[in-house]
Amino acid sequence: MFELNETHDPALKSWIASANDPGDFPLQNLPFGVFRRKGQNEAFRVGVAIGDQVLDISAAQTAGVFSGPAARAAAACSAPALNAFMAMGPAAWSALRFALSQILRQNSPLADRLHGCLVAQNHAEHALPAHIGDYSDFYASIHHATSVGRLMRPDNPLLPNYKWVPIAYHGRGSSIRVSGQEFRRPIGQILPPGAQAPVVVPSKRIDYELELGVFIGAGNELGDRIAIGDAEAHVFGLCLLNDWSARDIQAWEYQPLGPFLAKSFATTISPWIVTLEALAPYRLPWNHPSGDPQPLSYLDSPMVRSAGAIDIELEVLIETARMRRAGEAPQTLSRSNFRHAYWSVFQMLTHHTLNGCNLASGDLLGSGTQSGPTAAEAGSLLELTVGGKQPLMLANGETRSFLDDGDAVIMRGWCEKADYARIGFGELVGRVMPADGA
C-alpha cells in the first residue's frame, strides 16, 4: 500500500505561484496526462499538471533535472502516451513523483532550468493519456443498481448475484475520447411503447453516467491471476469517466447479453490521471454492511478492509445550449462520493483476473455509475427523473428528462480533508450533437 510521505505534506509550496492557490493541481497532486500546444502541429507528449501550468516531462528530462530511477522513469515518458511509464510499476511511479515534488518546490535550485518547460493549461490541448487496449465497465454502486433495478423490477430490484460478485461488461475502447468530446446522437433499433415491431431512429433518451476510470499500470500474463494483496501495485491512477448511454436503445437490446450499441457510441474521460499515491491521504476503511454477504476470500484482505475505499467528492452539472447563449453558469444536477461504492477498485481488478484474464498497461476499468444513498446523489438522469417520468426543472425554466441536442455535461471530482491539501481531477466535458442527417 502506498504510504504517506513528504510529497503529501500540506505545507509544501511551489515556485509556480498558481499551484499555491486553491484549486485542483497543487504540488501534492501532480497528475499525469498527454498534451501539446493548442493549434500547433506538434507531437503530443507527457506532462504533469501543476497549478495553471503543464510541465513537459521530456523537456525537463532534456534540461537535466532528473537522475537515477527518476531519470529512467522520465525517459519512459518520452512517448506520446503513458503506457511504457505505467508498465514500470510502483517504484518508478514513486521515484518520478518524488523528483517532481522536489524540483517544483519553492526555492528549488532547478527552477530557472524549468521555466521553459512549462505550457499554460489554457494554451494546451489533450489526447488520451494512454493507449487503451481494452475497457471494462463495472456496476459498483449498489445505490445505482437498486434504483435502476426498481424501475425495471419493482418487486425484485437487486439481482441475487450483486452482493457476491463485482459485475461488469466488456466495453468499447475505440470510442473513448478525452474531455471536450462532441458526439452525434446515436441511431439505433428501438421498440416504441405499445409497438409490436422496432424502428430504427435517433435515440430520444440520451443519458450520462457519473463514473471514475481506473487505469491499469503493470499488467498480468494470460492465465495468471492478480491476488487481492497485490492489486494495489497494478493500479496506476484514477480519472473521471462519463459512460454515455442511450436508454431507449439499451432497453430493447440489453436482454439477454447486456449493453451493446447503447453504450459503444461514446465514452469520455478527463485528461488527467491522479495517481494512487496522490490519493493516499484520502483512503478510508471499506466494508459490506453486517447483514450482507461478506466477500469471498479471494476478494478479502486486511488492506481492503482498512483502506479499500477512497473519499472522492463527485459533481455533475449541465450547460444547455440556451444557457450557453445567455452566458449563464452551468447548473449542478447532483453530488455524490466514491466512498459509497459497494466494491473497491482493488476487488474489481482482482475479480477481473480471477479466470486468468490478462490486463495490460493502459487498460481502463470503469467504476459504474456512482450514485449515493439519497435521491439527490444520483449519478444519472435515469435515476434523477425516475426513468423520465419526473422531468427536472432547471433554474432558467427549461426541463429535462434526458439530454437535448447541444447539452453539455460537466463532471468534477476532488478530495479534501483537514490537515491535507485539496487535490482535484480537473473537469470532464462532453456535448451531445444532433444525429447524423438531422
Q: What are 33-63's pLDDT values in tens digits?
A: 999 999 999 999 999 999 999 999 999 999 9
418 is a domain residue: yes
Among 80, 105, 127, residue at a domain's last position: 127
Give me the amino acid identity at 248: D
Give the model's confidence band at 408: pLDDT under 50 very low, under 70 low, under 90 confident, else very high.
very high
Q: What are 170-187's pLDDT values in tens digits?
A: 999 999 999 999 999 999
pLDDT exceeds cutoff 80 at 64: yes
User: Number of structural domains, the chain?
Assistant: 2
Give the model's confidence band at 27: pLDDT under 50 very low, under 70 low, under 90 confident, else very high.
very high
Percent of the chain with pLDDT over 90: 95
Full residue range of the structural domain in which residue 320 is found: 135-433
Q: What are 355-386's pLDDT values in tens digits?
A: 999 999 999 999 999 999 999 999 999 999 99
d(C-alpha 162, C-alpha 160), whole Å: 6
Q: Is residue 220 located within the same domain as residue 273? A: yes
57 is a domain residue: yes
Q: Is residue 113 located within the same domain as residue 252? A: no
Average pLDDT, the chain: 97
Let me know if 123 is a catalytic residue. no
Predicted local confidence at residue 438, as pLDDT: 62
300 is a domain residue: yes
Give the three cell numbers for residue 326.
445567455
Give the model's confidence band at 2: pLDDT under 50 very low, under 70 low, under 90 confident, else very high.
confident
CATH assignment at residue 94 = 2.30.30.230
260 is a domain residue: yes
Among 127, 145, 174, residue at a domain's last position: 127
Greater model confidence, 337 or 155: 337
323 is a domain residue: yes
Q: What are 328-350's pLDDT values in tens digits?
A: 999 999 999 999 999 999 999 99
d(C-alpha 330, C-alpha 174), whole Å: 29
438 is a domain residue: no
Q: Is residue 35 located within the same domain as residue 143? A: no
**Burial call 420-435: b when 16+ CB within 10 Å, e when fewer:** bbbbbbbbbbbbbeee
The 8-class DSSP code of residue 427 comes to: E
Q: What are 127-150's pLDDT values in tens digits?
A: 999 999 999 999 999 999 999 999
Q: Is residue 294 located within the same domain as residue 417? A: yes
Q: What are 187-240's pLDDT values in tens digits?
A: 999 999 999 999 999 999 999 999 999 999 999 999 999 999 999 999 999 999
Among 92, 111, 127, residue at a domain's last position: 127
Question: Residue 218's closest CA among 366, 353, 61, 49?
Answer: 353
Query: Among 144, 234, 340, 352, which one carries the catalytic annotation?
Result: 144
Give the three cell numbers for residue 135.
475497457
From residue 44, how far is each of 75, 103, 127, 137 by CA, in Å? 15, 23, 7, 27
Q: Is the pTM of the predicted complex or chain greater than 0.95?
A: yes
Q: Is residue 228 located within the same domain as residue 252? A: yes
CA atoms within 13 A on the CB side of 416: 12
Predicted local confidence at residue 255, as pLDDT: 86
Q: Is residue 362 located within the same domain as residue 346? A: yes
CATH assignment at residue 268 = 3.90.850.10
Predicted local confidence at residue 156, as pLDDT: 86
The DSSP result for 347-378, as a single string, is HHHHHHTTT-PPP-TT-EEE------SSGGG-
Region of 243 on the Ramachandran plot (φ > 0 left; ψ -120 to 50 alpha; else beta): beta
Among 87-96, 122-131, 145-154, 351-360, the minimum mean pLDDT is found in 145-154
CA atoms within 13 A on the CB side of 161: 5
**Burial call 392-416: b when 16+ CB within 10 Å, e when fewer:** eebeeebebbbbbbbbbbbbbbbbe
Dihedral pair phi/psi, residue 151, rounded to 5°: -65, -35
